[in-house]
Structure 1
């Protein structure tokens, strides 16, 4: 495939982190080749003289003039003309087609980053030549220049990266699937089909580690030709290790991650470690020493007697419900709301009504929608509800109304784009003001 690019006109579509990596990769292969770069931003400068730029609102028009279009994940397929889809490729596709090493691919609507990071740590501790790549690791294109058959690539795979793959990883980990990214795909079925590519092209020599309690994942797994390892059902020797004995020679281990959903992530990582034949004790020690990733049910600390948790990556109701299940009845204040993508909040409203929560701090625009859903289920309810426009006011209210010994949880069940740049900005502002007002 790489040799084929030599005599073809190539356009890099999208020039963010991955687009820049694609450019450096192609430039290393073809130092003098004229390349096209198309991006909706008008601020991009030519990286060298052998580049043609197509910028601004009409950036997609250039696609028809090129033989190969190397697309970045952030650009939805649905905005591209169907007539050009056959010429689209991606960094992920190029890597899968040319990588001589083994690939462990991890996908799921939620839990990918935690599971990917834990698998990487387990394999590294076990002496495997592992590399963390994809969304939370290094961009992969330039790694092809040094890849060997002994390398193992732990690859976090979003639906965007899986969409047009024609090859699946040697070991696939499929955690869950919920309604998400409906602003990116034409419909939910298209999203499911993209996710299914993680196992669609596996054969009898490959492995599929999958969540057997997720109905859609279970149905996809039925069609897979790979060796199947379900979690947690029928895999009891993995359930007990993380709580008790066999993995750590009877000593029991401390689990640094909160919530039942994280137990499934841990079990998936353990399963991969076992596929590689790693000793149970090394796996156990890695789990014990694992540091939870930022913005994923992250314990910030206890200030003025209140425990604060940052779950700013929660962008769907299911993950907020899971956070409430994990933290239990001590959650007294919760931050909710964000960008409206047309998702139903009915189940979340039911879960909140069953909880011991007293204070709802609501961001626009879905914060109001969640409140209306709660009121429609129970007009006379126990809650104080506050609509806020910024994180500073939100945290002030949390300190004012949350009692000592209770929990304040940021888990918005919505994407951040209504008033925040992204989940990182939202989570970092939460941490900033929690610590700032603790001093007052």
Structure 2
């Protein structure tokens, strides 16, 4: 199956731009094919153990200056091009681009600022549980080239897509899910408009026979989407969902089929094309309205693929949520602790407080990427949560903004500055009342402090339960 890649590289001078996990995967596949005349690597860092078959290793601050010396450049998602892609003479490709060119009719692509990993893994689990031939691909784990030998004509490919993977894409999946867009990654894109455009590549190259399931929060402009559009709306959300989209004012398509997730008489139901499905909240592990909206996206896709409601329910009940996403860690001295380390934006911290209504303490803060925290500040002012611990650079900025610009902030004594996570956890242990919850939902990135949000979450768990482990209940 990897022979499908040959038309892009046969007889070409090929450069691998970036040599992380995806770059190494590309190297291994291209070496097996042996159809490129030159295979070199450009990476900012030099490696001591350089693989065989590479004639030239380009590193250092000018490592991107050589791109036009090659016919084809396979760019890794984490590499930022120094110039716009159209200014290069070489062809800029990626694993995702070539993989989609080969299999786009079999792909369900999922993106969004938040929730895409939950939707992706849930959908894959539901399909697998119901007996579909399916694989999990994309940003969630294994590089897509490493999966090509497992794909048959009937295989359904469930693919999570990051903004970096989508940024230069010229092909879109047969079924696309765009769950939400919030202010994020401005340190990379510079403007919200550029970030949004990267996300919109999930549908910009769709065909009339394709399907887009899209939140009403981020509808395409009229004329942009030629596929079948399904508008998705969380009826329990407080409009507008995001300040940026309040300004966009894209009209809702009146002729588009709708997917709606709403609360109704102490239940949450999904309405989709004439069907009503009641989420079995007391039998599933996913918590919170934002997760119920994610279930709605998965439900719509499963109905398109003709899955029965019985199979959907069985798979939903059996699904184990991903870690660090409002994950219950355990109970210590009467306090329930939750890890929501995946939270890097205002909306996720707000959703954590909406879900855990007994929250006594919330830990907020991390790397400061310059996003607008007005939405979170205004919500915290109205929230009854008695202890708001603000840590790291972001926490310091939020504290300063509140004290300087929000004199009407309700009960400012609730704000507790902390230097680092270690200090924040110690304070949380001292102030959180038994019978209540403490949640770390940082609304900020972990980079520069931890390797990733996973390490941050594990560190939080270790700090919480370092003392008196015999009192811990799991």
Q: What are the superposed Cα offsets for residues 104-125 of structure 1, whole Å, 9 maximum, x if unpaired?
A: 0001011000000001011112
* 1:220-239 alignment, distance < 5 Å: 220=221, 223-232=224-233, 234-235=258-259
Aligned-residue RMSD, C-alpha:
2.7
- Segments of structure 2 that go 5 or more residues without pairing to the other structure are 236-257
Secondary structure at the counterpart of residue 383 of structure 1: helix
* 1:276 CA displacement: 0.6
Cα pair 1:101 1:149 within 8 Å, conserved: no
Instruction: Quote the Cα distance in structure 2 between the aligned partners of 1:32 and 1:160.
Output: 26
2:141 alignment partner in structure 1 = 137
Query: Quick one: which of 366, 369, 377 aligns to 2:397?
Result: 369
* 1:42 CA displacement: 2.4
* 1:149-298 alignment, distance < 5 Å: 149-212=153-216, 214=217, 217-220=218-221, 223-232=224-233, 234-235=258-259, 243=269, 254-298=283-327
Asked if 1:313 is matched to 2:314, the reply is: no
Aligned residues: 436
- Residues 276-285 or 353-362, more deviating: 353-362
* 1:112-131 alignment, distance < 5 Å: 112-131=116-135
Instruction: Quote the Cα distance in structure 1 between the aligned partners of 2:268 and 2:383.
Output: 28
Q: Aligned in 2, Cα 1:236/1:46: closer, same or farther, shift over 3 Å?
A: closer
Q: Aligned in 2, Cα 1:355/1:391: closer, same or farther, shift over 3 Å?
A: same
* 1:304 CA displacement: 1.0
Instruction: Quote the Cα distance in structure 1 between the aligned partners of 2:260 and 2:91.
Output: 46
Asked if 1:392 is matched to 2:422, the reply is: yes
- Segments of structure 1 that go 5 or more residues without pairing to the other structure are none
Secondary structure at the counterpart of residue 173 of structure 1: strand
Instruction: Quote the Cα distance in structure 2 between the aligned partners of 1:10 and 1:23.
Output: 10
Asked if 1:421 is matched to 2:422, the reply is: no
2:70 alignment partner in structure 1 = 66
* 1:243 CA displacement: 4.9
Instruction: Quote the Cα distance in structure 2 between the aligned partners of 1:185 and 1:49.
Output: 35
Q: What are the superposed Cα offsets for residues 384-423 of structure 1, whole Å, 9 maximum, x if unpaired?
A: 4443343333222111110011111111111112422221
Cα pair 1:248 1:284 within 8 Å, conserved: no
Scaled by the length of structure 1, the TM-score of the pair is: 0.91
Cα pair 1:338 1:363 within 8 Å, conserved: yes
Cα pair 1:333 1:357 within 8 Å, conserved: yes
Instruction: Quote the Cα distance in structure 2 between the aligned partners of 1:428 and 1:186.
Output: 31
- Residues 80-89 or 27-36, more deviating: 80-89
Instruction: Quote the Cα distance in structure 1 between the aligned partners of 2:382 and 2:44.
Output: 46
Q: What are the superposed Cα offsets for residues 327-358 of structure 1, whole Å, 9 maximum, x if unpaired?
A: 22x21211111111111111111111111222
Instruction: Quote the Cα distance in structure 2 between the aligned partners of 1:55 and 1:204.
Output: 44
* 1:236 CA displacement: 5.3
* 1:73-152 alignment, distance < 5 Å: 73-77=77-81, 83-84=87-88, 87-99=91-103, 102-152=106-156
1:344 alignment partner in structure 2 = 372
* 1:136 CA displacement: 1.1
Q: What are the superposed Cα offsets for residues 132-175 of structure 1, whole Å, 9 maximum, x if unpaired?
A: 00111321113234432111110001111111111110110110
Secondary structure at the counterpart of residue 212 of structure 2: strand
Cα pair 1:103 1:153 within 8 Å, conserved: yes
Scaled by the length of structure 2, the TM-score of the pair is: 0.85
Q: Aligned in 2, Cα 1:292/1:70: closer, same or farther, shift over 3 Å?
A: same
Q: Aligned in 2, Cα 1:111/1:437: closer, same or farther, shift over 3 Å?
A: same
Secondary structure at the counterpart of residue 308 of structure 1: strand
* 1:263 CA displacement: 1.1
Cα pair 2:327 2:338 within 8 Å, conserved: yes
Cα pair 1:32 1:50 within 8 Å, conserved: no
Q: What are the superposed Cα offsets for residues 202-228 of structure 1, whole Å, 9 maximum, x if unpaired?
A: 22211111212x1xx123487322222
1:360 alignment partner in structure 2 = 388
Instruction: Quote the Cα distance in structure 1 between the aligned partners of 2:115 and 2:317.
Output: 18
Asked if 1:432 is matched to 2:462, the reply is: yes
Query: Quick one: which of 306, 319, 331 aligns to 2:359?
Result: 331
2:434 alignment partner in structure 1 = 404
* 1:251 CA displacement: 7.8
